[in-house]
Amino acid sequence: MQTLNFEFPADRPPVRRAHVGVAGSGDLEVLMTPGPAGVARVRVRTSVDGFDAVWRVVLERFFARHRVAAAFELNDSGATPGVVTLRLRQAVEESMEEGGA
């Protein structure tokens, strides 16, 4: 098990928390909490060691487009970069909805 921490510039505050996905085989759970303005903080807990550079590239690409100021907890069980991007987009979409679940 490996834990990675990243920070990215962010200027778009979410409306609320979000929880998408599950920490199961080939999937990713994303827990997102509104955070301080100006930064997106990401903690990745992954069962697959040695992919630090891949995580950095995927997250840099995502946060270049989605500058959401929040704390992200990513619990990974071998998700592909495509699944990572999908789950992050779902979390951002859910967090921007007024009066959600």
Name the domain count of the chain: 1
Instruction: Please tell me whether residue 5 adopts helix, strand or coil conformation.
Output: strand
Asked whether the whole model's pTM tops 0.85, one would answer: yes
User: What residues are paired with 31 via a beta bridge?
Assistant: 19, 73
CATH number at residue 86: 3.30.230
Q: The domain containing residue 16 runs over which residues?
A: 2-91
Residue 97 lies in a domain: no
Order of all β-strands in the sheet with 18-20: 2-10, 38-46, 70-76, 28-34, 18-20
Encode pLDDT of 47-92 as tens digits.
999 999 999 999 999 999 999 999 999 999 999 999 999 999 999 9
